[in-house]
Amino acid sequence: MCGISGFFDSTLSTYQAGATASKMLDSISHRGRDNSAFFTDLPMTLAHNRLAIIDLTPEADQPMEDMNTVIVLNGEIYNYLELKDILQEKGYRFATRSDTEVVIAAYHEWGEHCVDHFVGMWAFAIWDRRTRCLFCSRDRFGIKPFYYIFRDNKLYFASEYKALKLTPLFSNEINEKQVIRGLQLGWLFYEEETYFTCIKRLPAASNLTFDGTDFTISRYWNLDLTKKSELSFEEKRKEFRRLFFDSIKLHLRSDVRIGTCLSGGIDSSSVVSAISALFPEQPIDTFTIYYDGDNEVDERPWVYEVAARYPNIHPHYYMPKEYEILDAFKETQFFADVPLASSSPVSQYLLMKMASAEGVKVLLDGQGADEFLAGYLHSFDRLIGEMFHDFQWIDAFRMLLDHKFIHRQPFSTLGYQLMKSILASVKDEQEMYFLAFKHKQKQITKNLHVKPPFEILSHPAAKRFDEFLHGLVFTTSLPTLLHYEDRNSMAFSIESRVPFLDHRLVEFAFTLSNEDKIHRGVTKYILREAMNGSLPSAIYNRHDKKGFITPGEDKWLRGPLKGLLDINLGRLDFINQKVVKQVVERYKAGGNNSTLVWRLATLNHWLKNI
């Protein structure tokens, strides 16, 4: 895990290129403090801050040059040992134990198709000195970031906004569409768009090539939403467990100390339980944030169940103090580079801080399972809607009742749930999200009747529920969560790994039936059954869904963060300032709408500090 940056700019001298590279590196030095260096072959410059995880020797430092090819890599190729064996049989020789050198050899062997062979997370740039071409790539789910500015045949790229803001191509013109998406939907970006009009984001599963004149971006991988497994459920359960355990083993490859996040939910508990089942003698440091006196945000009782089951676990707990929250918020916002859409990233930041204080450099997390295994409770809207759409009336009403009883929904919500499900049966994903877009905080922004600033991709041959899950993975939910995961971990030079996002596991999950994911009201059913016997029974039978919640959007805004409520968004002429003032004043007087007020407050704070 590292920080990368670089540029192709024929107008710079060697001295100017070096000075620019140094400034860019300094701005993201937190991403890797083990080595910092740059390489110049005008008009190309590549720069790298290293967080040493595999092969800690100086020989593995970057930029790395081999076979007339130079690379800067952020991330890990977990199957590098298997690829190394294959490449050695083809005659390649290696001078280091690093995965970076394997990527160079893979590029020479397979060209741009080298990424098809990788299992991992990455954002890298390769300068081919033979062809004078730049080849860049981002992993299948966009776990690792890659931002760029391209204008007048000049290309600048980096792991974070901070480095690009120091380049001659940067302009701080705000992207109106992204601000609106952030306020109304909580998304931090969409496709290639970011909060600045000039900064673009390389989409997940995409390659970028540039030869000084031609600039192209192409997608190299996607999920097949039409392929369905013909295995029995027992066979699917075993295969899911095999793939998950194999992913865990690959994600444990490291030459430094490893820990895990542990919230008490089924995802992080499955990661910890799988490690313990595979390697019962290996000590595991787990990290948990809690808020005492508030049962809604204290999951220690569930964590205790996991710790009691596996004696190799060394749990660490931390309760943030109220006086810490303001500084933690400011730091989280600084590293995030974007307005915080919720308060959860602040807790995640404090968890990473706790892990760093314990000397942990790699942290495994349970991110991703909710999206492709239908863990969110609003998944029921789409699932029941698909049943209605397919005229499975009895199954639809049975699922509606199962949802009510399993998740303890009050009878008063049944009518609303039924209405949303019927709506989902007649509207596609684009229409569903546009309705949500218009409904949420619609009075805040002007020009509401224009085309929505997003498009949910349609897959004509796919079922509605699979389309919904695909959108969660690539558009609506996971990209934002992965952004926070990267920024909060890298703020403390920690490599955060997400074993649920092994593409082989996700591909298999999308071949499963709806019933394999939600069975009689039980969410993430295939994961529960795959981990049955390894998970503590209390976790296996847990059905509430909380996520990484905090007291934040309400209690913090009325307490340690109340100073954020002095909001003035006057520089944004597409925001209805009068309505903003009314919403904030009602909130100060004891009203609700805390999510909207939080987003307005964090947007205001971000604007003051860009």
Label residue 25 by pLDDT band (50, 70, 90). very high
3-class SS of residue 506:
helix
Residue 319 scores a pLDDT above 90: yes
Q: What average pLDDT does this structure show over 603-610? A: 95
Label residue 450 by pLDDT band (50, 70, 90). low
Residue 591 scores a pLDDT above 90: no
Chain position carrying tokens 């490859």: 253
Residue 449 scores a pLDDT above 80: no
Label residue 279 by pLDDT band (50, 70, 90). very high
pLDDT of residue 392: 94
Tokens coding 563: 């100073």
pLDDT of residue 307: 95
First-to-last alpha carbon distance for the chain, in angstroms, is 26
Residue type, 103: V
Lowest mean pLDDT among 53-57, 86-90, 385-389, 437-441: 437-441
Residue 92 scores a pLDDT above 60: yes
In 159-271, which ranges are E strands?
200-201, 206-210, 215-219, 258-261
Cα–Cα distance measured from residue 176 to residue 161, given in angstroms and rounded to the nearest whole number: 17
Label residue 267 by pLDDT band (50, 70, 90). very high
pLDDT of residue 432: 87
Tokens coding 64: 């790395």
Quick one: angle between helices 414-426 and 379-389, nearest 10? Answer: 60
Q: Please name which of 302, 281, 272, 121 lies closest in space to residue 204, comparing C-alpha atoms.
A: 121
Tokens coding 292: 């005492």
Phi, psi of 104 (to 5 degrees): -60, -45
Label residue 358 by pLDDT band (50, 70, 90). very high
pLDDT of residue 296: 64
CB atoms within 10 A of CB 65: 15
- Model-wide pTM > 0.85: yes
Cα–Cα distance measured from residue 579 to residue 112, given in angstroms and rounded to the nearest whole number: 51
Q: Please name which of 78, 61, 68 lies closest in space to residue 122, comparing C-alpha atoms.
A: 78
Residues of the chain above pLDDT 90, percent: 85
pLDDT of residue 447: 64
Cα–Cα distance measured from residue 100 to residue 87, given in angstroms and rounded to the nearest whole number: 13
Q: What average pLDDT does this structure show over 75-89? A: 98
For 110-134, the pLDDT digits (tens) are: 999 999 999 999 999 999 999 999 9
SS3 per residue for 247-282? HHHHHCCCCCCEEEECCCCHHHHHHHHHHHHHCCCC
For 527-582, the pLDDT digits (tens) are: 999 999 999 999 999 987 666 667 888 899 999 999 999 999 989 999 989 999 99
Q: What average pLDDT does this structure show over 470-498? A: 97
For 153-179, the pLDDT digits (tens) are: 999 999 999 999 999 999 999 999 999
Residue type, 9: D
Cα–Cα distance measured from residue 429 to residue 408, given in angstroms and rounded to the nearest whole number: 27
Count each helix (H run) and each strand (E run) in the chain, helices first.
23, 17
Label residue 451 by pLDDT band (50, 70, 90). low
For residues 431 and 17, the model is more confident at: 17
For 393-414, the pLDDT digits (tens) are: 999 999 999 888 888 888 778 8
Domains within the chain, CATH numbers bracketed? 2-219 (3.60.20.10), 233-372+477-540 (3.40.50.620), 379-461 (no CATH), 552-609 (no CATH)
